[in-house]
Amino acid sequence: MQYKIALAGNPNTGKTTLFNALTGSNQFVGNWPGVTVEKKEGTLIGHPDILIQDLPGIYSLSPYTLEEVVSRTYLVKERPDAILNIVDGTNLERNLYLTTQLMELGIPVIMAVNMLDVTRKNGDIIHTDILSSAMGCPVLEISARTGEGLKELVETAAKTAKHQTLSEPRHTFSGPVEHALAHIEEATQGLLPEHQTRWYVIKLFERDSNVQDSLKLSPGLLDHINSNIEAVENELDDDAESIITNERYQFVSQLISKCAVKKNRHQLTTSDKIDRIVTNRFLALPIFAVIMFLVYYVSVTTIGTDATDWVNDTLFGEIIVPGAGELMDSWGVADWLKGLVVDGIISGVGAVLGFVPQMVVLFIFLAFLEACGYMARIAFILDRAFRKFGLSGKSFIPMLIGSGCGVPGIMASRTIENQPDRRMTIMTTTFIPCSAKMPIIALIAGAYFHGEWWVAPSAYFVGIGAIIVSGIILKKTKMFAGDPAPFIMELPAYHMPTIGNIARSVWERSSSFIKKAGTVILLSTILVWFLSSFGYGDEGFGMVEDLNDSVLSAIGQKIAWIFAPLGWGDWKAAVAAFTGLIAKENLVGTFGILYGLAEASEEGEEFWGTFAQDFSVTSAYSFLVFNLLCAPCVAAMGAIRREMNSTKWWLGAIGYQCGFAYCIALCFYQFSEFISNGVFGVGTAAACVVTALILYLLFRPAPHNDTAVVELNPSPSK
């Protein structure tokens, strides 16, 4: 028999770290029934018959976002054998609110008070015996980061799940509320699911529409229930949901005063002191800009470049490509087969894999910033800035995730409950350079700018700028009008991430990139090689010596004129841009084939040197800008289609991305050429018209209402 334990808790409480520690490498990913929200599962270490299911982070069982709906539906409908509730020991008040609701579900609960290492360092004391007695469930102190207390937690969780030791909720509401709850329970006797009566009764008192619809109660019964609710609302002078919320917090506050002792209650914590600087109203954005500049500078220009140069020039250029060619010559294989393997597969895939070291360095930095707690602050910081441009700070979360891969970034937009904001976030998230675009950035930086320090960071800020400009323009249209969604986020205490957690994050991101190189990119490079090696000559269809006689050249020349105003009307660049729509890494792989990585290696020449001959500096950067901002890969476009749930909106999103990318690349190239060469032509005139239109859309008047930002656990600087 297999037992199921649901891991539930607020966001930023260390839930992912705990899940990784409890399951190790025994993890697998699927989707929740009926939705495409990612579901992470794993078997409990030492207990192969126990499955841990990592629920999306939630603040309560009153759902507003799709993630919260998924968590509540699973807990209420699927009813796991136990709930492992992870609680942040540095912020009990906010976390225990969810715990009071979990206790009412009629499912055994084990509470894991995390951040033991932080609370101990601060000199704080949590009396777990008092907390356990008051809540009615086992309570254990742990540190998911260091592993302290996990062995006891594993055994307690396994015992609770197998023996179904039901937790007994000890929390009660005020007299008038309990009186009304008793009346509702009596009126619905026999109509509510067994063992969940109290949770359903409370939800009926709160007038939860989802619960009312699921129970299908008669109109007469609902009127009777509503009369009891109105009596309490009149007596307590508040609405039912607010009454429940306030009384929960009153209970939690009284409990914390008994079980938690803060040593330096009136002194600033280390996190607060750091936040006074990094979240300062004036310093926050400059500090963020400097940090991201350093991240991309080190990843693409220094350490990452040295490693990538070795992989490209030495590993592939001097060892693998020549070695494969010599080996196939010794075997006497046919020329076409040698061309397929050496010129197609190895050259194409190798050109992409050569940039893996740069991505690994970037992923290490991003994993560290996420795990230490800084990126949570960035979402809060950017909320202040984004709201001025029509976006919520919640929009930054998908963009942050999208820096690894656009697909989960697009899916993360589900945390935004406001539909116009969610759609706008979906349309703009992929403007942030993802891992697949890193090889393109490194290619342009190395081939045209001699590895200049500013190229890679500028690509990141081009994405940020595109998001801001798009936010202003789209928010002034009827389809996206309205105030941004309010932003609520838990700010965890700063802490030093473990090497294991960083390594796991880097591996997950890097391995997905490598897997794509071995599947999608492999097939694409074979197709590109075939189309570039075969064509119609004097003797009919067959292999051609000159690329310009190939099928790919014929196709490319038909579409190259489209990009001529952007400065790169050569057919090779046009073809590469289109293959990038399959997978962005394909763009580099295509160039690896078209510009001959194998031939350059054999002749002892640097591969990218031959590539650089077909572009000027301005056209190269225009090419970079277009491919950073245009429609993402096929997988990401599919995610946009699923999230939009509308063909019209999907086509509109793809059309906007491609059109916006074209306009920005056009303006950059035409104005750069005009400034450097003084030539004013049709393209320059078109760029002037486009610029005037963008400026009009940016500065035309539109109603603007500020909505207060709601923030939890604020530090004194906020």
Q: Among 108-112, 342-346, 418-422, whose mean pLDDT is lowest? A: 342-346
pLDDT at 716: 37
CB 542 within 8 A of CB 534: yes
261 SS3 class: strand
Task: Identify whether 521 is part of a domain.
Answer: yes
CA 323, 326, 332, 337 torsion-angle sign:
positive
CA 612/CA 606 separation, integer angstroms: 10
Q: Tell me the mean pLDDT in the region 509-519.
A: 74
Contact 623, 590 (CB under 8 A): no
How far apart, in whole angstroms, are the C-alpha atoms of residue 46 and residue 25?
12
Counting Cβ atoms within 10 Å, is residue 231 exposed (0-12), middle (13-18) or buried (19+)? Answer: middle
CA distance 44 to 4: 10
Mean pLDDT of the chain: 82
Is the residue at 177 inside a domain? no
In this structure, of 19-28, 177-186, 479-488, 633-642, the range with the lowest mean pLDDT score is 479-488
Would you say residue 706 has pLDDT above 50? no
**Pairwise CA distance, residues 640 & 650, whole Å:** 6
Q: Which of 27-31, 297-301, 618-622 has the highest mean predicted lDDT (pLDDT)?
A: 618-622
Does 296 share its domain with 156?
no
Tokens of 647: 């063909």
Can you tell me which residue has the tokens 């997905």?
Answer: 512
Burial class (CB in 10 A: 0-12, 13-18, 19+), 297: middle
Q: In this structure, is residue 330 part of a structural domain?
A: yes
Confidence of residue 602 (pLDDT cuts 50, 70, 90): very low
Based on the domain organization, do 296 and 159 belong to the same domain?
A: no
Coil, strand or helix: which one is 703?
Answer: coil
For range 689-702, the mean pLDDT: 89
| φ/ψ bin of 139: left (φ > 0), alpha (ψ from -120 to 50), beta (otherwise) | beta
C-alpha–C-alpha distance, residues 280 and 718, integer Å = 7
Distance of CA 700 to the CA centre of its chain: 32
Of 631 and 679, the structure prediction assigns the larger pLDDT to: 631
In this predicted structure, the answer to whether residue 32 has a pLDDT above a threshold of 60 is no
Q: Is the pLDDT confidence value at 150 over 70?
A: yes
User: Which of 163, 179, 195 marks a domain boundary?
Assistant: 163
Give the model confidence (pLDDT) of 398-417 as tens digits.
777 777 777 778 877 876 76
The DSSP H or E segment spanning 392 is none
The residue assigned the tokens 């919520």 is 392
Strand spans (E) along 476-539: 534-537
Q: Is 197 contained in some domain?
A: no
**Percentage with pLDDT > 90 across the chain:** 22
From 131, 163, 195, the end of a domain falls on 163
pLDDT at 715 over 60: no
Closest CA to 255 of 100, 430, 141: 100
Residue 637: pLDDT above 50?
yes
Alpha carbon of residue 91 to chain centroid: 25
* Any domain includes 190: no
* Token pair recorded at residue 685: 């005139």
Into how many domains does the chain fold? 2
Q: What is the mean pLDDT of the segment spanning 128-137? A: 90
The pLDDT score that the predictor gives to residue 611 is 61
493-521 in b/e form (b: 16+ CB < 10 A) is bbbebbeebbebbbeebbebbeebbeebb
Q: Give me the pLDDT at residue 30, please.
A: 54
- What is the pLDDT averaged over residues 278-295? 85
pLDDT band at 596 (very low <50, low <70, confident <90, very high): low
Which of the two residues, 8 and 349, has the higher pLDDT score? 8
Within-domain flag for 346: yes
| pLDDT, position 26 | 63
- CB distance 418 to 64 below 8 Å: no
End-to-end CA distance of the chain: 51
Question: What is the rounded average pLDDT of the residues 486-511?
Answer: 76
Identify whether 717 is part of a domain.
Answer: no
**Average pLDDT of span 572-601:** 76
Last residue of a domain, one of 121, 144, 163: 163
Cα–Cα distance measured from residue 16 to residue 29, given in angstroms and rounded to the nearest whole number: 13
pLDDT exceeds 60 at position 598: no
pLDDT of the residue at 7: 93
- Identity (one letter) of the amino acid at 477? T
Give 667-676 pLDDT, tens digit per residue. Answer: 999 999 999 8
Per the CB < 8 A criterion, the answer to whether 510 and 367 are in contact is no
* pLDDT given at position 624: 93
For 498, phi and psi rounded to 5 degrees?
-85, 155
Work out the pLDDT band at 422, boundaries 50, 70, 90.
confident
The span from the CA of 3 to the CA of 6, in Å, is 10
Reply yes or no on whether the pLDDT at 712 is more than 80: no
Residue 229 covered by a domain: no
Q: What is the reported pLDDT for 180?
A: 92
Question: Quick one: tokens of 55?
Answer: 């629920």
Q: Which residue has the higher pLDDT, 498 or 237?
A: 237
Q: What percent of the chain has pLDDT over 70?
A: 87
Segments forming the whole domain that contains residue 27: 3-163
- Report the CATH number at residue 80: 3.40.50.300
Query: What's the rounded mean pLDDT across residues 223-229?
Result: 91
Residue 314 CB contacts under 8 Å (≥ 6 apart), including other chains: none
Range of 412-416, 502-506, 629-633, 662-666 with top mean pLDDT: 662-666
Strands (E), 245-357: 260-261
- Which of these, 165, 141, 164, lies nearest to 18 by C-alpha position? 141
> Once rounded to an integer, what is the mean pLDDT over residues 349-364?
79
Q: Poorest-confidence range of 245-259, 313-327, 421-435?
A: 313-327
